[in-house]
Chain A
Amino acid sequence: MTTKRGLITDSFKVVKKSRRGAKQRKSPTPPPSQPEDVAPSAREEDLQQLKQFDLDWRFGPCTGISRLQRWERAKLHGLNPAEEIRELLLQTQLSLWLSYTVSLSLL
């Protein structure tokens, strides 16, 4: 699988624990606050919205079909899915990356 659009470590930063000698193992310090908190949180918010869409029981099963196909099906049967979900899905930057995370988030 190509990951040209981003790596998982973009969204979930690797936290390196600093070693202070073998015996003085204290509880790991919390990760330092990210300077770019603002930008990924918008993306994470979108991701959360899409996850909520996946788990919404009114639109049927979510596995095996793409989110856009599921949205289209819901629209076809008159279940009024939110339009903003469709807009999110059509933004090209997000769609590929997030469709990759569907399989991860459902694990």
Chain B
Amino acid sequence: MFSDLSAQREGSSLLCRPASEDQGPVFERTTIDYSPCTERYRLGERSFSRQYAHIYAARLMEMRPLLSERAKHKWGSDVLIKKLCDLETGEQCCIVGTLFKRMDLQPSILKEISEEHNLLPQPARTKYITEADELILEDELQRIKLEGKIDRDKCVTGSVIVIYGAEKNDGKFTVEDFCMADLPLQTPRPELGSDKFVLLASGLGLGSSKADSMLGLQLLVDMVTGQLGDTGEQSGAATISRVLLAGNLLSQSTQDKDASTKPKYLTKKTQAGSVEAMRLLDELLLQLVASVPVDVMPGECDPTNYTLPQQPLHKCMFPLSSAYPTLQLVSNPYSANIDGVRFLGTSGQNVCDIRRYSSMESHLEILEETLRLRHLAPTAPDTLGCYPFYQRDPFILEDCPHVYFSGNAPVFGSKLVKGSDGQEVLLVTVPDFSSTQTACLVNLRTLQCEPVFFSAFSADEDEESEMNVSH
């Protein structure tokens, strides 16, 4: 564990007289092999004139053979796999298709602007599911309503599954069992000699009106760059070989669009909140990149495109830190091979979106569900913005990662998932730093993850209570 490494005290050097001429011990940071998988999530030309039917068709085309094999494996190789158009009443068979959940509360722009309904825009809710939701399975040509042993509240639109059952007389399909694509095959990771760590952090929240997390951030930077603690802790920090920032580097408050609603003469001299925040981020990154390779992923509140896959932040926004080759600006979702360990993850938009449209609460549970579905973001493009791909769906997991993470979770969570073919995946939900002051350290040798808390005294609370008393 990382905490064990830094606790080795060989005589507390902090309390000794400072060394006269010699510098003191210099620690070399462990280097690792790094190869990013850049092509998959980069967009070349962007043409939005296509419809989204193509991405669903490509998704079904790609998942159909995988699911047929799973079905044969689970229910016997002589099970019938049929298309909906060939379905006969009462016949036990399997159908491969895309789930669609019809929810009454799902925000629909058509309902909002329809004059006959005369509705006011709905306020945002945490959950959009109700008891009256219906599950429908669609294949290439037809769709059918589902009932039976399938948890309607847990499923989300866009997941491709295979169902086993029969159609009853009333035109609905009664599901007796269903199956997801499950984990893809995994190339085994190499044995590493020593402990090497990767630091995962997200939700730095720079540029917000409350600067509560700034001290915590500075502590984080100081710890990683080895400026904190004595030789034991410094040697521990030298084993942190990479830092990954998983989105929401800027805070939500930089996104407010007041400037567009206020008249020009009031806003002429004011800068957008994100300009100052990016400058802060650049300075923070400068401290980090001088010492450790950093991967920066954009998130929901960052200045890049909204639709998934989010393109990397442009390096012109980082004049100071982009001079260093250790700064890697990467896309969201992000996939890379770090010393033979495959990392795959997002900044959390996919998990938050699934949480809104299903009964699952814990981010870790949802992350596991997306892994079992073999799809990063099944709700894209229905409720999550997505680029209209036509040739293939890049969110389908082709090979199993070793570390699968998602950023901006409310709490830290990690779990080791074992697959049926010997796959081992470490699921990590990286917590939001601005609210939890927590980052995660992943040990590449043992595939374990531990949280690191940076707590700072917050003077605000005491002041507020005094003010209340005086009132």
Contacts and interface: CB of A to CB of B under 8 A. Distances in A.
Contacts of B53: 60-61
Interface residues of A, number: 14
A78 B58 contact: no
B392 interface: yes
A28 interface: no
B391 interface: yes
A76 B390 CA distance: 12
A58 B58 contact: no
Residue picked from B58, B61, B62, most chain A C-beta under 10 Å: B61
Given A64-B54, A65-B50, A57 B141 contact: yes
Interface residues of B, number: 15
Interface string B383-409: 000000011100000000000000000
Contacts of A64: 49-51, 54, 390
Contacts, number: 38
A48 interface: no
Contact of B61 (A63, A69, A72, A77): A77
Interface of A: 57-58, 60-61, 63-65, 69, 72-73, 76-79
Nearest to B51: A64
Contacts of B51: 61, 63-64
Q: Which 4 A-B residue pairs are closest in the complex by CB-CB distance?
A: A60-B57, A64-B50, A77-B61, A61-B53
Contact of A77 (B58, B140, B141): B58
Interface centre among B141, B391, B392 (most CB of A within 10 A): B391
Contacts of A65: 50, 54, 390
Contacts of B58: 60, 73, 77
Nearest to B85: A57
Contacts of A58: 140
Contacts of B57: 60-61
Contacts of B36: none
A79 B61 contact: yes
Contacts of B391: 69, 72-73, 76
